[in-house]
Amino acid sequence: MVSKKKFMTTLATSVALASIGFTTVGQVVPQMGAQVQTAQAATSAINDFITNNNITPVSITNEEGTFSYWTPYENGVGKPEGVVIHETATPGASARNEATYFNREWPNMYSYVHAFVDANEILNIKNTDYAVWGAGPTANAKFVQVELCEVSTTYSFARSVANQAYYTASKLVQYNLPFTPGVTVMSHNDVSKKWGETTHTDPVGYFAKWGYSMDQFYDLVGKYYNQLKGNTNSGNTNNGVNNGGGTANSNVITVNNTQGSYVPLVAFQSDGTTKKITNRALANNTPWYTDQTKTYQGLTYRRVATNEWVDQGYVTK
């Protein structure tokens, strides 16, 4: 949890104002080489519920928020060391509600995070190449930070925690980080204990209300981490499962648009035609996991998310 009622200690590094945006991206994250590490499996009714009900994470929505500091991590721009897990402590508030509040109030709260997650949305509001103010100066300079919204039903909790675990795994893969519970993925409680710069204990108490724990969350992160790394085809429709009528074709592609600053995406509609996606795109010269191909009007498209496809013409390798 990032406190809304008291000032948080900000980064203990110099900051500079800038007014740059970042390219929005789809659900599947860049694939990079890293050693796969998994958490020790923890028995969990919630994780079993996610599996038994075929709950899959939603796409990540990226919308640059109002936080105007563009501060490198201690190792440099685009070099976080892991992900810190928060929860909002605001029952019933959605990811959109929280993002709206933080975008308006961060200059007064001195607090900001990279993303909010609820049962229906993963909303990233700050480019994760840069640090935010959420867990004290040491952790701020090291970690991507994500807040889980509080919900009121088991189904919503399962969906929300699946979304948060997926977001966490996707960031580890994006930044070529191993999955090491308690090191590259930490709760705010872990951060408070390790560095003593905050007193927050989230999300431990909220998880406990649902009979859940960080060990069980680590197990779920490990599942998505391995799927995103292409080590298993089970459970996630974005890794080798043909659910869109295309041809299964698992590999990693690199995309680039020599005529623009980003690579556009299209969606296939129910009548088989394509429609340009206007609120998400792929960054130039980035690798992406793809599992299907489709052909339309002589063009071949590669799938990089549930219904997000890139023209083969933008694929460089």
What's the average model confidence in pLDDT over 161-187? 95
The number of C-alpha atoms within 13 Å of 53 and in the hemisphere containing its C-beta is: 14
CB 17 within 8 A of CB 68: yes
Assigned CATH for 45-228: 3.40.80.10
Between CA 67 and CA 145 the distance in angstroms is 14
Task: Give 220-245 pLDDT, tens digit per residue.
Answer: 999 999 888 875 333 333 333 333 44
Residue range 283-300, pLDDT digits in tens: 888 877 777 888 899 899
pLDDT score for 248: 41
Per-residue pLDDT tens digits for 37-52: 333 344 579 999 999 9
**DSSP assignment string, 75-100:** TBTT---EEEEEE---TT--HHHHHH
Whole-number Å distance between alpha carbons of 246 and 241: 10
Q: What angle separates helix 214-228 from helix 154-174, to the nearest 10 degrees?
A: 50
Taking only the tens place, the pLDDT of each residue in 133-164 is 999 999 999 999 999 999 999 999 999 999 99
How confident is the prediction for the chain on average, in pLDDT? Answer: 82
The closest alpha carbon to 210, from 163, 154, 165, 156, belongs to 154
pTM for the whole thing? 0.65
> Which 3 state secondary structure label does DSSP give 30?
coil
pLDDT tens digit sequence for 56-75: 999 999 999 999 999 999 99
